[in-house]
Amino acid sequence: MKKKINKPYIIAETACSHDGSVARLKRMINASFKAGSDAIQFQVWNAENMVTVNNPNLNKMKKLEISYKNWRQIFEYTKKKYPSLEIIACIYDLEALEFTNNFGANAFKIHSSDLGNKELLNRVSKLKKRVDLSVGGSTVKEISKALKILKKNDVWLMYGIQSFPTDPKNINLNKIKLYEKKFNKNVGYQDHSPTNMYAYLIPCASIGNGTCIIEKHITDTRERKGTDLESALNFKEFKNFVKCIRETYASLGQRKISKLNKMEEAYRIYSKKKIYLKKNLNKNYILKKSDIIIR
């Protein structure tokens, strides 16, 4: 049975927006915490473990990667400075899993590219930590097979279209509720909307639809020619984003009809009409409908 989440859980996804810079990533960590995030997500990988030597992106990825020595420093920095900020390690191989587990990751994210990676799934299943299973572009059969391996783990399914940025018409938020019902798991929304009003509207619509787990990309600036910027919000925007999510959730209120609150009572006194007499009447006067007004 899934453990019900009763308030928004916001994940700041750093992805590769750091462009290999530890200093830039630390600024992103600072901003994520100050914005009010619940967790920060790091993508930890080694380029040679990710792609073949013939892949045209190999050299670019080598420039983006952060060494395990520096990742240890980043994990220690985050835990020491912001102990309440959970760390989610998005890992793609056994080596990264072992390192980030030793570094003290609170949870692991398995990318949708690894839904069929039984070796990785079997190893992470033995660790008593939450697993966020990304299901973008995956079939129900693939998700079911992965969940069988992770049957003893606390698993959150993470749904989102990995198109940067994603056209809102292709998002299909209703899939989240369908997955929740089918798999009996908490399902989060990974947003990759354009960085205009949709960056706020679509995740807030997801909150209104009953989703509590929201993942959003953060970056220092979109002005430079960097990586993973198409759907990432800068520090000021991300702070406003977190505020929008939390206030949208607060606006939902209770899921039952309850007594009027103080504001409703005050509005009632201000607005409700009452019955008055048109004029003063003598004792024993027989009241007629025409003597009454409603104001």
Q: How far apart are CA 88 and CA 98, in angstroms?
A: 14
Please report the pLDDT score of residue 88 as a whole number.
98
Report helix, strand and coil shares of the chain as percent, to nearest 5.
Answer: 40, 15, 40
User: Contact, 200 vs 191, CB < 8 A?
Assistant: no
Residue 221: other Cβ atoms inside 10 A: 12
Please report the pLDDT score of residue 255 as a whole number.
79
Tokens standing for residue 222: 């979109």
Q: How far apart are CA 258 and CA 262, in angstroms?
A: 12
Please report the pLDDT score of residue 194 as a whole number.
94
Q: Which of 256, 255, 233, 257 is nearest to 245 (CA)?
A: 233
pLDDT in tens, the chain (295 residues): 567 788 999 999 999 999 999 999 999 999 999 999 999 999 999 999 999 999 999 999 999 999 999 999 999 999 999 999 999 999 999 999 999 999 999 999 999 999 999 999 999 999 989 999 999 999 999 999 999 999 999 999 999 988 889 999 999 999 999 999 999 999 999 999 999 999 999 999 999 999 999 999 999 999 998 999 999 999 999 999 999 999 999 999 887 888 998 999 999 999 999 999 999 999 999 999 999 999 9
Amino acid at 250: A
Please report the pLDDT score of residue 1 as a whole number.
52
User: Contact, 179 vs 185, CB < 8 A?
Assistant: yes
Please report the pLDDT score of residue 6 as a whole number.
85
* Residues 241-244: contacts with CB under 8 Å, at least 24 apart: 241/35, 241/199, 241/200, 241/203, 241/216, 242/10, 242/35, 242/36, 242/37, 243/36, 244/200, 244/203, 244/204
Which residue matches tokens 């040679």?
48
Tokens standing for residue 284: 């024993």
- Considering only the C-alpha atoms of the chain, give the largest distance between any 2 of them, rounded to a whole number of Å: 104
Q: How far apart are CA 203 and CA 48, in angstroms?
A: 35
Could you tell me which residues are beta bridge partners of residue 90? 43, 109
Q: How far apart are CA 185 and CA 179, in angstroms?
A: 8
- Its pTM stands at 0.91
Q: Which of 225, 215, 237 is nearest to 86 (CA)?
A: 215
Q: CA dist 134 to 25, 110, 111, Å?
A: 23, 6, 5
